Amino acid sequence: DPGLYIVATPIGNLGDLSHRAVETLKCADHVLAEDTRVTGKLLKHIGARTPMLRYDDHSSEAERDRIVDRLATSAVALVSDAGTPLISDPGYKLVRAARAAGHQVTTIPGPSAAIAALTLAGLPTDRFLFAGFLPAKAKARKDSIAELAAVRATLVFYESGPRLDDTLSALAEGLGSRDAAVAREITKLHEECVTGTLNQLADRYASATPKGEIVIVVGPGEEAQDASDEDVDRAIDEALTRLSA
């Protein structure tokens, strides 16, 4: 059927490509890719010959309009280099434009490094805030962290190896030495998840710059953890009372 299909792709292990993702990528009229070389390999792997077009959110309005026009008659699949499109990746402007024009938008969900890291970290998952990449400049990064310090939720950050050490130190300084985890190369050969306090993790990575892709997960801090069990019980009781009323 015509419309826009948001297709999640693996974050490392090709076995994580879903059956529905394969069917959609094979049957689509076009695949929109961030990097046609990266996506070209994936299409080759599944034996799809679907023509590719380049797309990112920096593409001009005119280019976006041309894509949106196609959606009336064509099935167009959006992928990113890895994981779920729109999550620290291009796509939201296209989804917004497709909806505004009244086209069908369908999601084929799958891997995302943020969710995968949350499942490895062993930190509370009832409330989390996905913070994406922190700003690269020290002052802007410090300001962002200061804003997040008040949030009573587990925090999830994307990061790269060379900046890990600086980021962990800045997080320890701005948030206090909360429990945290560094999840690296998830679903790949050298997958690891190292847990500890932010200070411990900052020490550990001070001397050794790790290779590969990284997610930092930071627990919500003491107060939130103390409050949560009772609060959750009370909220459930209240909700049940309302339901049975």
For binding to ligand SAM (CB under 6 A), which residues are involved? 11-12, 80, 82-84, 87-89, 112-114, 158-160, 183-188, 213-215
Q: Residue 50 corresponds to which tokens in the numbers above?
A: 């679907």
Within 13 A of 163's CA, how many CA atoms are on the CB side?
Answer: 18
How many degrees, rounded to 5, is the angle at CA 108 between CA 106 and CA 111? 145
Nearest residue (beta carbon) to ligand SAM: 83
Q: Closest separation between CB of residue 91 and ligand SAM, Å?
A: 9
With beta carbons less than 8 A apart as the criterion, state whether 21 and 106 touch: no
Q: Closest separation between CB of residue 74 and ligand SAM, Å?
A: 24
Helix/strand/coil percent split, the chain, to 5: 45, 20, 35
Q: Closest separation between CB of residue 223 and ligand SAM, Å?
A: 28
Nearer residue to ligand SAM within complex by CB, 79 or 224: 79
Q: Residue 1 corresponds to which tokens in the numbers above?
A: 């059927």
Q: Closest separation between CB of residue 195 and ligand SAM, Å?
A: 15
Nearer residue to ligand SAM within complex by CB, 65 or 119: 119
Helix axes 161-175, 198-207, angle to 10 degrees: 150
With beta carbons less than 8 A apart as the criterion, state whether 133 and 215 touch: no
DSSP class of residue 101 equals T
Q: Closest separation between CB of residue 186 and ligand SAM, Å?
A: 4
Nearer residue to ligand SAM within complex by CB, 104 or 160: 160
Nearer residue to ligand SAM within complex by CB, 160 or 195: 160
Nearer residue to ligand SAM within complex by CB, 29 or 185: 185
Residues 6+ apart with CB under 8 A from 96: none
